[in-house]
Chain A
Amino acid sequence: MPGNNISSLQGIQEAIILSPKLRALKAAFPYTIPIWAGFIFLGFAFGILMNSKGYSAQWSILMSLIIYAGSMQFVAVNLLTSAFNPLNALLITLVINARHLFYGVSMLEKYSGAGSKKPYLIFGMVDETFSVLCSTEPPPGVDKYWFMFFVTLLDHIYWVAGTALGAFFGAMVSFDTKGIDFVMTALFVVIFINQWKSQQQHSPALAGLILSSVCLFLFGPKGFIIPAMLLIVLVLSIFRKQIEKGVEI
């Protein structure tokens, strides 16, 4: 029957249109498992903290949905419980999140060509998502933009879900979760090793590690990020010629 042929043809077409998304989702999920663990816990802690300051679940969920910046949201709790000063809030945000500028410069090329997904990829570029996407190529046959989109979306969902769980059920938790936030440190250490093994030249990685440590020692935990970023850019720029000769690109 011609009619049947047409409908089955449409079915095949639909399957072809659908499958890149599903394949990308399946490929993306394993990379987000460590982040799942970390974000459910950290989001949970954020929800509890907001509750304890008198902000109900809809406030913490709103923040996790539209701000979506882990450590900055914890700082924002302080901003919400001290004297009203929006300009100060904006400036503090710019300083604490300045490290995202690094991520943006790093992802200029990868995100170009992402089309309509690009604004969301940029919005959702938290530390953890960036660390996975900058160091991972999707498996062969998987659409890289859908892959990056789903890694970003899944992480965002975990963060909001964790926040909601913490805000609604935080009071009921009884097991000791102390130290679980180390999952993020472990994630970055593993990515550091993976990057290390993939490169011939290790000076950019070492520059990041050593210069940040030096700045942490000099400026302390609250003020070291921006000096560290400036120093990293300065040192990498000074050695640009040598690095460009040696870096695998």
Chain B
Amino acid sequence: MILNAQQAIIIIAAVCIGTILTRALPFILFRDQNATPPYIVFLGKVLPFAAIGLLVVYCLRNVSLLSTPYGIPEAIAILFVTALHLWKNNSLLSIGGGTVLYMLLVQTVFN
């Protein structure tokens, strides 16, 4: 521990304030719902879909396609989740099954 307690508190407060800012800013800027510009309303309708796509990529950001195991366990597990979900349409089953398969893959086959 390099920082003293006071410095650590200040760093934690800075991260806390920064996080709250990014979460609250749209609500502060567009406080009055009736006055929200149509363009922002449009973004509010389409961004939930784009944001989930972004999150999927964000989760996979550290997967390297150029070094072993070339993203193969991730690809197999995602295909499995997709197939299982399209077949059974049970979210918990798809998430749980995919995670167990991925753990097996990275702990045994691609260890």
| Contacts from A to B (Cβ < 8 Å) | 30, 33-34, 37, 53-55, 59, 62-63, 66-69, 72-73, 76, 79-84, 86-87, 89-94, 97-109, 111-112, 118, 122-123, 125, 127, 130-131, 134-135, 176-180, 182-195, 199, 202, 204-213, 216, 221, 224-225, 228-229, 232-233, 236-237, 240, 243-244, 247, 249
With an 8 A cutoff between CB atoms, is B72 at the interface?
Answer: no
Instruction: Point out the residues of chain B lying under 8 angstroms from A208, CB to CB.
Output: 49-54, 57
Residue of A nearest to B4 (CB): A84
Do B15 and A192 touch (CB < 8 A)?
Answer: no
The docked-state distance in angstroms from the alpha carbon of A82 to that of B2 is 7
Partner of A205, one of B42, B49, B59, B78: B49
Are A189 and B26 CB-contacts (below 8 A) given A79-B11, A90-B18, A94-B18?
no
Do B78 and A108 touch (CB < 8 A)?
Answer: no
Instruction: Point out the residues of chain A lying under 8 angstroms from B18, CB to CB.
Output: 89-94, 97
Do A103 and B23 touch (CB < 8 A)?
Answer: yes
- Report the minimum CB–CB distance from B65 to chain A (whole Å): 9
Residue of A nearest to B5 (CB): A59
Are A186 and B47 CB-contacts (below 8 A) given A104-B24, A179-B105, A209-B53?
no
Please count how many residues in chain B sit with their CB below 8 Å of the partner chain's CB atoms. Answer: 70
Residue of B nearest to A183 (CB): B99
| Contacts from B to A (Cβ < 8 Å) | 1-3, 7-8, 10-27, 30, 33, 36, 39-62, 73-74, 77-78, 81-82, 85-86, 91-92, 94-96, 98-99, 102-103, 105-107
Do B14 and A93 touch (CB < 8 A)?
Answer: yes
The docked-state distance in angstroms from the alpha carbon of A176 to that of B100 is 12
Partner of B57, one of A82, A104, A199, A212: A212
Do A195 and B26 touch (CB < 8 A)?
Answer: no
At the interface, is chain A mostly helix, strand, loop or mixed?
helix
Partner of A76, one of B11, B46, B81: B11
- Report the minimum CB–CB distance from A167 to chain B (whole Å): 14
Do B51 and A102 touch (CB < 8 A)?
Answer: yes
Do B19 and A213 touch (CB < 8 A)?
Answer: no
Partner of A186, one of B24, B94, B107: B94
Partner of A67, one of B19, B58, B106: B19
